[in-house]
Structure formats: C-alpha cells, structure tokens
Structure 1
Amino acid sequence: MDIEKWKRWREGGDRQAEIELIEEYLPLVTYVATRLSMGLPDTVDKDDLISFGRFGLLDALKKFDYMRGLQFETYGMWRIRGSIIDGLRECDIIPRSVRDKAKKIEEAYTVLEQENLRTVTDEEVSEYLNISVAELRQTLLDVSFASVLSLDEPIQDDEEQKHSRQTVIMDERAEKPETALHKEQRKEILAEAIERLPAKERTVVSLFYYEECSLTEIAEIMELSASRISQLHSKAVFRLRGALNRSKDYLLNE
C-alpha cells in the first residue's frame, strides 16, 4: 500500500492522489458486485450493483485508517458490500410476503433454540410453525435471497441505536465508541454460535462468508444440489440471527 499517496490526499488534499486511489481500488467494486450477483435473482442488474458499490468504495476510502499499516482491500470490500446491500434494500426488491416468512422462521429458531439450548431439527421448527417439513424446506428456498442480506439488517428499529449485524460482526476497523473488550465479546458470541451450527451449515457459512465462494461453487465443493445449499445457508443464517437476538441487550447496552 502506498502510504505516501494516502498522505498526499488525506493530509495534503492532493486531488490527483485521490483519483489514483479510486482508480486503483475500483476493480474491488466489480469483484464484489459480481460475487453478490451470483446469489441474486436475474432481475437484478449487475450495473446497478456496481453503481451502489462505488458509493461504498468512496466512503471506505474516506474512513480507512491508512496509518495503521493494514491492507485496504478487506475493509474496502466489506464497505462496498454493505453499500450494495443498502442500495438493494432501498429498491425494496424483497416482497413483503417473503420478509414475513423470513421473520417467522427467525422467530422459530430464536425461541426453540433458547428453550432447548441446542440446535433444533427441521421437524421441531416445522411443528412450531405448524407446517410440514416439506413446506419448511420450500420456504427456506423461498427466503434464501432474503437470508443473504439478513445479517446486515438492523438489530433493532431504534433510529438512535441502529447497529447493523454486519457492523457488529465484521467491520472491526470502522470508527465506533465501543472498547476493544466489547469488540472481542461480540466476536466471541458469533464464534460460539458458528461453532454450534451443524457441520454442513458451518461449512456453508465458512465457504460463503470467509472464502467468498458463490452458492453454486459451494454446491460443487460439497457435492450437493444448489437448492440444498440454499436451504443450509438459510438455516445457518437464521440460527445466527437467533443467537444475536438472544444477545441483543448485551450487545447494545453493555
């Protein structure tokens, strides 16, 4: 990373240095938009994703702490991803019916896993929702797109304390008032929740969020159908959301 270029722009107001940094990292936008588009409906235009992502890149460049000697790419990609997801949400491309289904499933996992203190089965969730296992699995497919975005939704609706799960979980370098201790506690909550996931769901989470594989690529790696991977991903996300919901007061108020 060219620290001098960052200094010329951020400390000296060098417009040319700013342009060079934007041009240098602009391919990150295309990369993130392409990866995200693999899990989105065909009706979503990748050019729109790129447009949303550019705002995220500019925001990341302004907020990145270049003096810490860290690589910009990881921070930049999460900011770009967040900007794209914000843009998609503003376009309201997820039907209300799908959002309602997703909320009901999240409630089921939150309540049941709190009561049982373990991961619950499809049969238990189906019974709670008063539907068949086949209906549950079809619903998990129906809400699979919503679950791709769901970790970025606010933990609560209070405008003065609106923390997204992405910020709480992933964005460790953003400027926040929390102490390093609190950050570690948040990471521990997520890490413990991931460890409790069934093996296949844990693998999907690892490949999707950390290895940045598409759901189609994960299906090939795990030798399962794409629909099965979508179901596993949805279940994993709802379990993680449940864990974060159970820890909501701790995360926001400690």
Structure 2
Amino acid sequence: MNERKASHLNHSDLWEKWKEHGDLEAKKMLIEKYLHIVNYVSGRLAVGLPKNVPKDDLESNGVMGLIDALEKFDYERGLQFETYASWRVRGAILDGLRQGDWVPRSVREKAKRIEDAYQQLEQTYLRSVSDEEMSQYLDVSTKDFQHMLQEVAVMSLCSLEDPIREEESETRLSLMIDEKAKNPDYKVNEFYLKEALVQGLEKLTVKERTVVSLLYYEDLSLSEIAEVMSLSPSRISQLHSKAILRLRGTLDKQKDLLMRKD
C-alpha cells in the first residue's frame, strides 16, 4: 500500500487492514494518527516530575504503550480507542518511571516520615491535622514542612497507580473502579480496602478532595487545577502530596490488618 492510497483510508479501513490482514503499513499509519495521545499524556505527566527525567524517555515508553494498545484493542466492539490507549500509554510511562527508580532515597524517606506522621496524628486526634501540628510532630518549621511536601510531590504521581502488594497487579486506584466477580476471600479484602479508601477520602480537607477529584476523575493537569482553584501550581502540588500521603497511610494500615488476618 503506497502513501497516497493509504492517506485516503479512514480509521475503519486502517483498523480492518491491520487487524484482519496484519498490514504493517496500516499499523504504522494508526500509530501516526494516534501519536498525539503519547504527546498529550507524557506532557501532562512531565509537569510533576523532576527536571532530571528526560521527556524523551516518557515519550519512548508512551509509544510502547500505544503500540501495545494497538495490538490488544478490539476495534469491532465499537469502543473509544483514545480512552483505552490513554490508559495504556499512561501505564507504560509509569512502569518505565518505576523501573528507572527515579526517586532519590532521601525523598522516599521523607515521604515515609510524612506518611507515618499523618497516620499517627490522625489516629490520635481522630480528625484531619493542620500543617502546624505536622510541623511540630516532625520537629521542623512550617516552611520546611511545605518544602518537604514539594520535594515528595514527585512520588505522589505514581502512588495511586502502584500495586497494593508488590507481587500483584491490583492498584489502589483500581479499587475505585468496578471489577468482574472475584473469589470470596478477594471480595472481602477488596470490600475492606474500599471502605478504608472511602474513610481516607472523608478525612481529607475540602481542597485536598477537590484536587484528587479533578486530577484522577476529571483528568485535569496540576496547572489546570491551579487555574480552576485560583491557587498557585506549587500549592496544588502540596495539596496533592498531602492527600496522597494520607490516603497511602490509610490503605497501608488496612492492608497490614488484612495480612495479619490472613
């Protein structure tokens, strides 16, 4: 198939040629047609990442996710490929970031300190705690605590996408989505984890819940959320970090309880 002839084919023709006949030229054209998804997703993810993470690496992993989506997508079901591909591309980029271990150990340690502090204080006071209370508990100034939140913001990007247990593919975010029926033991554990997630969301402040909702449900970028909420991007990043660290603490605590029951 030459370029001139191929350019007149619509999406349905291309999908048929690729899926039914294994036409590699059609596959190449589909990749080109949907490459904007990789650019869009990688651009949004790059906003919250450190400067030392090359955007080229994000795009390379994203292209692999797009190719995987093209190979696994069932075009005859009439579903929206863009939505399916976006999740595949995002997942491939996040997988690449995890494998690259791009978060410094010192940042991981700070994130763990903050997560443990939130869990301890909220268990003690049975309410959301202020930045001042967190600063006092961590024995740092409020300004230093804000700076810590800014530093660990690079970790919170993947937090809800990370597996609940290292050996499993089930993620925290997937607990918010309906799944096909599973075995009774799994359903019981899933029920308690969902309950823990709901409780964790209820403990968040209004602003933190708004950020989580706009980011994970409305699919806005941090800069877009900043504009919607009339706050600076750095402030949105801090709110996101606090929300994710608190949710992680709640879910990890529930996970430990379930593992002890097992």
Q: TM-score, normalised by structure 1?
A: 0.79
Q: Relative to structure 1, is the Cα distance of residues 72 and 116 closer, same or farther in structure 2, using a 3 angstrom cutoff?
A: farther
2:108 counterpart of 1:70: no
Aligned with residue 134 of structure 1, among 135, 143, 154: 143
Structure number with greater CO (CA < 8 Å, separation at least 6) is: 1
Q: Relative to structure 1, is the Cα distance of residues 55 and 93 closer, same or farther in structure 2, using a 3 angstrom cutoff?
A: same
The Cα offsets for residues 175-204 of structure 1, whole Å up to 9 and x where unpaired, read as x88379949846665455334421111121
Q: Which residue of 2 aligns with 1:97?
A: 106
Aligned AA (1:88):
L
Deviation for aligned residue 1:156: 3.0
Aligned with residue 55 of structure 1, among 35, 57, 64: 64
Matches of 2:257 and 2:34, distance apart in 1: 37
Q: Which residue of 1 aligns with 2:23?
A: 15
Deviation for aligned residue 1:99: 1.0
Q: Relative to structure 1, is the Cα distance of residues 66 and 117 closer, same or farther in structure 2, using a 3 angstrom cutoff?
A: farther
Q: TM-score, normalised by structure 2?
A: 0.76
Deviation for aligned residue 1:122: 2.0
Q: Relative to structure 1, is the Cα distance of residues 249 and 100 closer, same or farther in structure 2, using a 3 angstrom cutoff?
A: closer
Q: Relative to structure 1, is the Cα distance of residues 120 and 65 closer, same or farther in structure 2, using a 3 angstrom cutoff?
A: farther
2:203 counterpart of 1:193: no
Note the 1:1-254 alignment, pairs <5 A. Answer: 9-10=18-19, 12=20, 14-16=22-24, 17-64=26-73, 66=75, 68-157=77-166, 159=167, 161=168, 163-169=170-176, 178=182, 182=187, 185=191, 189-248=196-255
Secondary structure of the corresponding residue to residue 120 of structure 1: coil
**Which ranges in structure 2 are unaligned for 5 or more consecutive residues?**
1-9
Matches of 2:257 and 2:83, distance apart in 1: 28
The answer to whether the 8 A contact 1:39-1:214 is kept is no
Matches of 1:96 and 1:58, distance apart in 2: 33
Matches of 2:221 and 2:134, distance apart in 1: 27
Deviation for aligned residue 1:40: 2.0
Identity percentage of aligned residues? 52
Aligned AA (2:148):
T
Deviation for aligned residue 1:150: 2.3
CA RMSD of aligned residues (A): 3.5
The Cα offsets for residues 74-110 of structure 1, whole Å up to 9 and x where unpaired, read as 2321221121122122223221101110111112223
Q: Relative to structure 1, is the Cα distance of residues 66 and 179 closer, same or farther in structure 2, using a 3 angstrom cutoff?
A: farther
Max Rg structure: 2
Secondary structure of the corresponding residue to residue 143 of structure 1: helix
The Cα offsets for residues 20-39 of structure 1, whole Å up to 9 and x where unpaired, read as 44333322111101111122
